[in-house]
């Protein structure tokens, strides 16, 4: 019998999540909003080190509304990381603003020095930089201390894209606690999931209330349907919030398992010439995805060779994000680059990292990787 496919980062759900969904279902709060949403927002805000959380349909919705509430308008410039998933850049275009991309340092996160250079250049050109959107890559928080200093020097607000970093930290603070606000994601492959979903977290009560208003179709508080603003259908459902509460209660354990896998890959590739596990070990990372970097001139094989070998065994692996400045849809977009993100994309490969992986599945992954880790025919 064919063994089931091993995914890169499959949802980790069980009895607790089933019980939570049944509880919400039996309460008859099936439509969006309800007591589970209220409770989830309070619990999530606490985990993120924030005063307020607004549960939304996706992390993209959180970024979109965050930008709107910060006053981003058509013709503005928003500076963001080029090493990210497309949603970060897409949401900037939703507002009519222009994304400007900045390359990364060796951590994969936005380079603070290049960020400062980009802001200096854009301001000198007379452009209005309406926001900075740094991204926490693969569960490692960006250098928010230096980013905040650059932003403050230019008077530009920061909206942190923490879609990948729930449970991670920087300088002892939760990653989503940085910026005027931050967006988190609960997509099915994230560190925890609500199936789909996301949230905007902030310490600004007025900002949170404005996001909540816009996310519920900008309906005025009157008995009939009255609208003075364009709104969006962006709120999270009560059922999915119940699922999120069960996941949030298990977050620490799920992160611990992913850290075990990161350590395992580090040991597996220790001493293999030309292969490194991406990212320095840090207790502050949530280890959402564990990835390797392959120097083909030294290793004798490529990251793509590894991916294809795993695929033969029905094991999913995936290259790191293709930088936004290299995407056809953003051809011609302004970018401040140093080549690091392109190198990481060309040499990087994310390996199965989900907390739901069993020991038997890890053994299958190890077997698929064996030719590249134990002096097999493809190594050396």
pLDDT digits over 127-180, tens only?
999 999 999 999 999 999 999 999 999 999 999 999 999 999 999 999 999 999
380 pLDDT tier (thresholds 50, 70, 90): very low
pLDDT digits over 303-313, tens only?
999 999 999 99
Mean of pLDDT over the chain: 96
Buried b (16+ CB within 10 A) or exposed e, 90-110: bbbebbebbbbbbbbbebbbb
Residue 32: predicted pLDDT = 79
pLDDT digits over 28-40, tens only?
998 778 999 999 9
H/E stretch holding 124 = helix 112-124
Cβ-based neighbour number of residue 213 at 10 Å: 18
Rounded CA gap, 218 and 221, in Å? 9
Phi first, then psi, for residue 103 (nearest 5°) are -75, 175
127 CB-contact burial (10 Å; exposed 0-12 / middle 13-18 / buried 19+): middle
Cα 58 to the chain's mean position, in Å?
11
Q: In this prediction, what percent of the chain has a pLDDT beyond 90? A: 94
Rounded CA gap, 290 and 361, in Å? 16
The whole model's pTM is what?
0.96
Cα 52 to the chain's mean position, in Å?
20
Mean pLDDT in residue range 109-118: 98
Cβ-based neighbour number of residue 128 at 10 Å: 13
Residue 1: predicted pLDDT = 52
- Helix, strand or coil, per DSSP, at residue 201: strand
339 CB-contact burial (10 Å; exposed 0-12 / middle 13-18 / buried 19+): exposed
pLDDT at 374 over 80: no
pLDDT digits over 57-72, tens only?
999 999 999 999 999 9
pLDDT at 54 over 70: yes
Rounded CA gap, 72 and 132, in Å? 11
pLDDT digits over 338-364, tens only?
999 999 999 999 999 999 999 999 999
Q: In this prediction, what percent of the chain has a pLDDT beyond 70? A: 98
pLDDT at 281 over 80: no
């Amino acid at each position: 019998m064919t063994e089931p496919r091993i995914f890169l980062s499959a949802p980790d759900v069980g009895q607790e999540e089933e019980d939570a969904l049944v509880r919400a279902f039996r309460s008859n709060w099936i439509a969006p909003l309800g007591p589970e949403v209220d409770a989830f927002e309070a619990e999530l805000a606490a985990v993120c080190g924030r005063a307020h959380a607004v549960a939304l349909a996706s992390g993209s919705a959180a970024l979109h509304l965050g930008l709107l509430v910060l006053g981003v308008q058509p013709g503005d410039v928003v500076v963001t990381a080029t090493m990210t998933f497309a949603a970060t850049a897409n949401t900037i275009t939703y507002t009519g603003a222009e994304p400007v991309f900045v390359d990364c340092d060796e951590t994969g996160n936005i380079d603070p020095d290049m960020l400062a250079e980009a802001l200096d250049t854009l301001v000198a050109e007379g452009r209005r930089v309406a926001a900075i959107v740094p991204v926490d890559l693969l569960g490692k928080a960006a250098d928010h201390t230096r980013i905040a200093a650059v932003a403050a020097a230019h008077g530009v607000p920061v909206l942190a894209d923490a879609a990948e970093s729930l449970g991670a930290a920087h300088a002892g603070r939760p990653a989503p606690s940085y910026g005027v606000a931050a967006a988190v994601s609960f997509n099915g492959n994230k560190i925890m999931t609500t199936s789909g979903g996301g949230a905007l977290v902030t310490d600004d009560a007025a900002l949170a209330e404005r996001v909540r208003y816009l996310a519920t179709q900008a309906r005025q508080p009157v008995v009939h349907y009255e609208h003075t603003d364009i709104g969006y259908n962006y709120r999270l459902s009560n059922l999915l919030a119940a699922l999120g509460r069960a996941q949030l209660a298990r977050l620490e354990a799920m992160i611990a398992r992913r850290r075990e896998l990161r350590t395992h890959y580090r040991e597996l590739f220790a001493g293999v010439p030309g292969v490194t596990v991406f990212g320095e070990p840090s207790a502050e990372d949530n280890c959402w995805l564990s990835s390797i970097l392959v120097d083909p001139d030294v290793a004798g094989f490529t990251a793509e060779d590894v991916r294809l070998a795993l695929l033969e065994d029905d094991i999913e692996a995936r290259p790191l994000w293709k930088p936004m400045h290299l995407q056809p849809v953003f051809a011609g977009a302004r970018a401040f680059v140093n080549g690091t993100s392109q190198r990481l994309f060309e040499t990087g490969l994310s390996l199965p990292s989900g907390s739901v992986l069993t020991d038997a599945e890890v053994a299958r992954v190890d077997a698929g990787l064996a030719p590249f880790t134990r002096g097999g025919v493809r190594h050396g």
